[in-house]
Amino acid sequence: MEEQKENRPLQNTGCQEEELCGSIKNVELSAGVKRMVSGGQEDKGIHPTKPSAGDFSDPVYKEIAFANGCINRMGKDELKAKLTELKLDTRGVKDVLKKRLKNYYKKQKLKQPNDFEAYYDYICVIDFEATCEEGNTPDYIHEIIEFPIVLVNTRTMDIEETFQRYVRPELKPKLSEFCINLTGITQVSVRNAQFFSCSYKECL
């Protein structure tokens, strides 16, 4: 259902698809204050971007829809290039890359402007990868196979430190073909890796 919403065409946008795609590929979202408008121009004012609950008529949702439409038309190389530019993970099949990029733009667009001092100076962002099958049973036990962390400065939003280790699974040491294609992690990477307990201690 979510994918259907993302791909639903908008009526009376007043812009050509090529112009919209050009706009979304060039728009800078890291500050959370620039908004895309007709003709590729920027509105540099700070706007509260999170509408009231249930109000999907807010222009921000049109911008998200524009972004999703452009992302759907991007090739795999374009997706990887954009993810690299945004310092996001570039591994996985094309559908995974599209979802990752869509989630990034959606979070940026819905992010409220900060009018208060950040409570923490730094935050650690963790994005585990785990074993999986194409049809997981309810009792399937996922094991972590990658342990990545980035240290983010909340004042500048820069990544100041990174930590990344592959992890050897114990219950199912052989990765499924589905898992390899989904995560981009190879059998060799986990076979030569240490167990999670060792990686965890190393991280600390």
Quote the pLDDT of residue 157: 87
Quote the mean pLDDT of the chain.
77
- Rounded to two decimals, the pTM is 0.45
Over range 13-20, report the average pLDDT. 48
Domain ranges within the chain, ordered by starting residue: 2-110, 122-203
Domains 2-110 and 122-203 share a fold: no
pLDDT at 146 over 80: yes
Class assignment of domain 122-203? alpha beta
Higher-confidence position of 104 and 23: 104
pLDDT at 94 over 50: yes
- pLDDT tens string 30-86: 333 344 444 444 444 444 444 444 556 678 888 888 889 999 999 999 999 999 998
pLDDT at 29 over 80: no
Q: What share of the chain is helix, strand, coil (3-state, %, to 5)?
A: 40, 15, 45
User: In CATH, what number does 2-110 get?
Assistant: 1.10.720.30
- pLDDT tens string 168-183: 999 999 999 999 999 9
Of 102, 100, 92, the C-alpha closest to 178 is 92
Angle among Cα 86, 154, 58 to the nearest 5 degrees reads: 65
Which amino acid, 90? T
Which string of DSSP letters, residue by residue, matches 58-107? Answer: SHHHHHHHHHHHHHHT--HHHHHHHHHHTT----S-HHHHHHHHHHHHHH
Quote the pLDDT of residue 58: 72
Average the pLDDT over each of 34-43, 89-98, 192-201 and give the range with the smallest value.
34-43
pLDDT at 5 over 70: no
Residue 162: pLDDT band by 50, 70, 90 thresholds?
A: very high
The tokens for 30 are: 């890291």
Angle among Cα 37, 41, 42 to the nearest 5 degrees reads: 80
Quote the pLDDT of residue 135: 86
The tokens for 187 are: 């059998």
